[in-house]
Structure 1
């Protein structure tokens, strides 16, 4: 059975289709585009190209395809240029459509390429990881990393549609599945206490009976937030709430070196740090912090750094975070488990440093 929900953004609205085998639906979409005289091209990574060769052939036939290296390092200026040259070599015009098949790296890179090529062409997201299904494929944030920091170059560019085929999860490594669970835990913490309690009672696995329902609920939570604040311009709250755990997590990813931690693993540690910051601000109890640690650990995710990182380096990266406003880092903290708010005032460097130390950072290496 295929379910769908709509991200309502006026003329940029699109549908998210969720099911256990969406190959025929994707085939039909491709056929309609080709029938209308529109060229398509496919971007994926080499792991997906090898593991899902039959599915890719069934969905896209002879459509030109570029397979890039898997991993966060691919979100680079050099690889963006490579994708743009690929689109030009295939002769796509402004009616062309790029289909991204892969995890968050492929969606982010391909989406930014689609936003940039000929000043913008349409693209379709076919996420293949749990993290991409519940988070990065939805909402139109695209981008690449710079030496200075994560996702510092990019564009808001909404997809034409999103096809979430849960069959792709059958070949997903357990570590990658756990990384996606971090984003689902985030949704529970920031806006759905019932979802959080459900994850506490029965940690999500690839064989969970409620997997599709949890994916749909996560998509729904993100869609409603994006609808209210598409470009993250709200003075308080809004789309910035989706960054819960990310201000700490992005610093961890960059200082450790991209690839040391999967994005979801860094976010998981960031959630634990954010819970501690919330406690320091007086909104969470020690028992609440323990609950956050427990649900993160129950999903095979780290709650502390695997190896120490230098506190000065982490703070320097955090100061360059794209969420900084008027020179002040903007944190997402928890008023209670299930309700999050944004804060930039009243948070001291000493408190932030203490939270980093609590998850394993050290003053010097």
Structure 2
């Protein structure tokens, strides 16, 4: 083999190696597609928009309270501001909160449901940044009340509480973000192990109840369909609790096993373009963005934390991110977002859900992804 041939082969090997690295590289993206650029666009969009009523950024009437899609986007915006060390941006998120101590106090949700109690994650994030006690007190009210049964609690709710679980337990997959997010934030703010330990115990209950043999989840024991965003809530919930769960927690191994089993299953159902579907294992279901964003976030986190193989899952996460941002329109709104969805044991129920533009159910996990890529 002559010198010229060897040079060509060596050059080809280098090219193939660089190309392979690019396929799973989570640090370098083309201009216009970087997490810094996308995250700032979505954060600005949220700050320029009034409060929503369960996610739709253009509600037909003013919201009656701060609802969980706003909470998730608010939280994601502050995470992004922190990841980019943008204190000015963070201050704008904090300023948005101030009216809730005065004129907009009526918008504070009642701490009587998983979807309401997650609100406390926002003031706790503000406390972590500012150290102001008013944020801590407000946030802990929502975290603590999730484990204190009210006098009017139903029999089933009291039974859950008697077993050491939240009285708000209902075995809907969505809960595994709503419960773990507020409890994880309370642990981060106080370093009190009780918060994270009880959230981990709750997570194991849900894993045991609704994770399927193939690694995916039903929406609930009564709704036998692997709804995309429902599974996304679980994927993010597990990733978030594993990020902070102490190594000596007795439930950590079980949660990690459930997480890795789910991530392995998701690899099989990711489409060639990087997207996942409204019903994950249904080839006729439409490609849905909020679920794709949540799965992408869970994989980015797993790769960054060393829980997942960086080549295999880094490639899947990169494809997910690059696919997602193609669904952002010129108004910085994510398209093809499934509307809020109740449980129902009907394929048509999930297949025919409205596809909304700019809904915060999609804007929020897009911000999470941008943040995870920058951590």
Q: Identify whether the pair has TM-score above 0.5, normalized to the shorter chain.
A: no
Q: How high is the TM-score relative to the length of structure 1?
A: 0.29
Q: How high is the TM-score relative to the length of structure 2?
A: 0.29
